[in-house]
Amino acid sequence: MRLPRLLLPWLLLVVACNQEPIIITGPCTPGEIEHQLHGCGQPPDTGTGAAGGEGGAGGQGAAGGEASAGGQGGAGGDMHSSLCSGQCTPPAPLGWFGPALLWFGPPEAVPDCPADAPTLGYEGFADLQQPPINCATCACDPPEASCTLPTGWAASSSASCPGDEPGTVMTSFAAPDGWDGACTAANPIPEDQRCDGEPCVQSLTIAAPSVTTGACTPRIDAPPPVPRLDPWATRARACLAGAYTACEDATTCVPAAPSGFVTCVYHEGDDAGCPEGYAARHVFFEDVIDGRECTPCGCGDPTGASCTLMASVFRDAACTDLLASSLVSSSVPFCVVTPPGVGLGSKSAVIADVEPGACAPHGGEPVGELQASAPSTFCCTA
């Protein structure tokens, strides 16, 4: 008599004789189903029933436990294990995925999933490198600069420069406050004016003009684009079978691991210990957080600014009878020896050049690093 059976796409429940029910997960061939149905010692009704007569002799065994030794038929467990063409491994604990076939190695050598485990269940990375970040070059535009004309003009009774020896008498020939350099007859000194018995005018001193600068403006010279490099030295992928069958001892039948692969279970996060049967632990990551950046560009205080003007002094009050004309720099006061007792009637000045100087740039330095994220723990058979 053929036993009733219930066949679902991935589950086969077989109840026969006095055995415990056998549950098979995964697709089964018709031969495998028949094999399990008659694993208790009853032959299939396919014409080999003649041997069943001899089986009747087994009735003699009814006198003892040999009949109950039908438990040898229970060796169908061995038959059940023999259905696993791969390897029997501990099932994945609650909260874990797998078992899966894991490969990890250099990115350029990533294989396809094996034919027996064609489904890609996980892809991740390890051995994060720190490729350099290419920062822009910082520069500084020159500052705005202006030149203020000096108002400190003075005659000296000394016949040598700088005309400040002890006992020397200084006579003011100052320009008015806020002077713009136009001709001015302010504070004239008459010809042959005497100071302590000496001509008041034997040399002329002009104070250095002053330079005022603003702040420099930082400028970014962007570098050429650099191809993004793969920061991972190791790539990992886990492949899953389409279905699994159960082995006799409550383990799981998984495909045999091809060369380069290892059988593993895996769990999200990196704080899990490895379950029994899977002692080799590996951690892989799915993403990377780029914490690198470049320090902002800035500029130091301006240095090296200078100003040069053309100063002229005249005998008359209308700036027509030129006595002397010379360049005066902002670096040092100017002094010139004049004919003794000459009259100083007027003066004028024109800014000849303004050098704004420069600022030292700073910034554009790489800081920070890449950080691996989204870890998963893989525990593998040794």
The whole-number pLDDT of residue 69 equals: 35
Q: Write out the chain's pLDDT in tens, 382 residues.
A: 333 333 333 333 333 334 444 444 344 333 443 444 344 333 334 333 333 333 333 333 333 333 333 333 333 333 335 678 889 999 999 999 999 999 999 999 999 999 999 999 999 999 999 988 888 899 999 999 999 999 999 999 999 998 888 889 999 999 999 999 999 999 999 999 999 999 999 999 999 999 999 999 999 887 766 767 789 999 999 999 988 888 888 889 999 999 999 999 999 999 889 999 999 999 999 999 999 999 999 999 999 999 999 999 999 999 999 999 999 999 999 999 999 999 999 999 999 999 999 999 999 999 999 999 999 999 999 7
Amino acid 134: pLDDT = 84
- Please state the pTM of the whole predicted model: 0.55
Looking at residue 249, its pLDDT comes to 83
What is the reported pLDDT for 310? Answer: 96
- pLDDT for position 106: 95
SS (H, E, C) the chain: CCCCCEECCCEEEECCCCCCCEEEECCCCHHHHHHHHCCCCCCCCCCCCCHHHHHHHHHHHHHCHHHHHHHHHHHHHHHHHHCCCCEEECCCCCCCEEEEEEEEECHHHCCCCCCCCCEEEEEEEEEECCCCCCCCEEEEECCCEEEECCCCEEEECCCCCCCCCCCCCEEECCCCCCCCCCCECCCCECCCCEECCEECCCEEEECCCEEEECCCEEEEECCCCCCCCCCEEEEEEEEECCCCEECCCCCEEECCCCCCCEEEEEEEECCCCCCCCCCEEEEEEEEEEECCEECCCEECCCECCEEEEEEEEECCCCCCCEEEEEEEECCCCEEEECCCCCCECEEEEEEEEEECCECCEECCCEECCEEEEEEEEEEECC
Q: Reading across the β-sheet that carries 11-14, which strands appear in turn?
A: 6-7, 11-14, 22-25
Q: Which two tokens stand for residue 299?
A: 């500029």
CA-to-CA distance for 52 and 56, rounded, in angstroms? Answer: 6
Contact, 359 vs 140, CB < 8 A?
A: yes
